[in-house]
Structure 1
Amino acid sequence: MTHIPIVIPSFNPDDRLITLIKQLHSSKNGSKQKIIIVNDGSSKKYDDIFEYIQKNFQVTILKHPINFGKGRAIKTAINYVFKGIPEAIGLITIDSDGQHSVTDMIKCTDTFLTKPKDLILGTRAFDHEVPLRSKFGNLVTAKFMQITTGIKISDTQTGLRVIPKMYFKALINMKGDRFEFEMNMILEAANYDINIVEVPIKTIYLNDNKSSHFRIIHDSLSIYGVFFKYIFGAISSFVVDILIFMFMIGVLNKLSVSAAIVIASIVSRVTSSVFNYYINRKIVFKNNNRLSLISYYTLVLTQMLLSTGLVIISNQYVTHVNITMLKVIIDAGLFFVSYQVQKHVVFKGPR
């Protein structure tokens, strides 16, 4: 247990942080684990709390000069453990506002000891007692993640996590400094052969969760940002693709239907793909690896062949639907597959 440090990111804490530290020190397991608090640029009026903890308990306090965000605080702690505590087999994060019990922390730690290479998430049940803001946000995010990535996690925003050592280096360099970092941690796990295990924990919300520093609009945009930008780029390219396809079908009306579809598909996809590649490389995934061009156009060719073939086949059996509409429906279905391939293969950053 001494080799699984406890990490507590903290910004403008109240007495609940002191209560948590007392509970950790009085618990059988928590008292044996090294405790690391990251003061993420809290205001000076909170210095008394950190000074009290420093004076009365054996803890390590790391301090940011300004508020960088929860994600950066966790990265700072991971880097500290990675370099300064080489015997650590992982670390556990727990929020400072009393929303996680020490009993549940120990429960997650015990699970980790049986699965030391897995990412353990302490997941809450969102019943009628949970504040609407938190319930709505968590459920929407969980469903959004499942639809767009296929990853099914019931509580994507839980702060109670046990992180395996083999994931440390990747997390230190991972994108995101605020709440989106916790989302990225889940999204990228499979790329580093990290399995995710959910451990049910008690749902605790104090004073309607008013102490939360989660900014609904700003942080939600950060969490969903990459996908939103991808949607914008894809829709723009999609419009270009469809318009050119319609134009070519009209120009090639003297050819057979199949030949017109093939030629129109090639011309429209090549034209729109140039625009789409630039948007995704420079704005969405921000990856300047020139080798991505080869991977991207391999994907474009594959997607074009699939789209063309499916449109031709569908046109033979669904004769009452316009060819352009068939293409719209089929390409919409290929949209999510293309996103996953681009994110995890074409524009994937270095491991």
Structure 2
Amino acid sequence: MNLPEKEHIRPLIVIPVYNHGGTLRDVVVRVLDVCADVLVVDDGSTDVNTREVIGGLPARLIRYEENRGKGEAILRAASEAKRLGMTHIITIDADGQHDPADLDRFMPVIREDPLAIVVGKRFFDRTVPFSSRFGRGFSNFWLKVQTG
């Protein structure tokens, strides 16, 4: 296995999107302020024309005509990252709930352990809908069970 050298980390920031046209452009602009390599994977959005929303921005776009699920979007992004010679992918949601400024916090961890899977943890309070809090809590629980 060829391991990325610590000095040669090349992350691709991946923004999977499904019907978040109202927040997507702002998220892409904010991510581009931190990293130049951005890939938007449109998972069959029906609310807007994603190509027009991000038009003029130096971000790559892959678009599915039909919704295939976030997992498929991320797998496609990983394949694209490999094709482009990137060493890592970092995903950020298109709904604006992640702060792109936090992306810089991942880099020291990736450099220290290039094979690590790094997961950010969002803090959520009562302003976040119960269904979202439940889903995040459920995911966090199983991640903890699997990884310790």
Q: TM-score range by the shorter chain?
A: 0.7 to 0.9
1:111 aligns to what SS in structure 2? helix
CA separation in 2, counterparts of 1:40 and 1:140?
23
Percent identical among aligned pairs is 28
Deviations 1:264-285 (A, max 9, x none): xxxxxxxxxxxxxxxxxxxxxx
Runs of 4+ deviating beyond 6 Å:
none
Which residue of structure 2 aligns with residue 19 of structure 1?
26
- Classify 1:131/1:76 alpha carbon distance in 2 versus 1 (closer, same or farther; 3 Å): same
Structure with higher Rg: it is 1
Greater RCO, CA 8 A, separation 6+: 2
1:194-205 correspondence runs (5 A): none
1:1-351 correspondence runs (5 A): 3-25=10-32, 27=33, 29-30=34-35, 33-43=36-46, 45-47=47-49, 49-53=50-54, 55-82=55-82, 84-86=83-85, 88-143=86-141, 145=142, 152=144, 187=146
Is 2:16–2:70's contact at 8 Å kept on the other side of the alignment? yes
2:144 aligns to what SS in structure 1? coil
Gaps of 5+ in 1: 146-150, 154-186, 188-195, 198-351
The structure carrying a bigger strand percent of its residues is: 2
The structure carrying a bigger helix percent of its residues is: 1
Is 2:39–2:60's contact at 8 Å kept on the other side of the alignment? yes
TM-score by length of 2: 0.81
- Give the root-mean-square deviation of aligned CA atoms: 2.4
How many angstroms does 1:19 deviate by? 0.4
How many angstroms does 1:2 deviate by? 7.3
CA separation in 1, counterparts of 2:76 and 2:123?
30
CA separation in 1, counterparts of 2:56 and 2:126?
39
Matched pairs, number: 141
Is 2:31–2:101's contact at 8 Å kept on the other side of the alignment? no
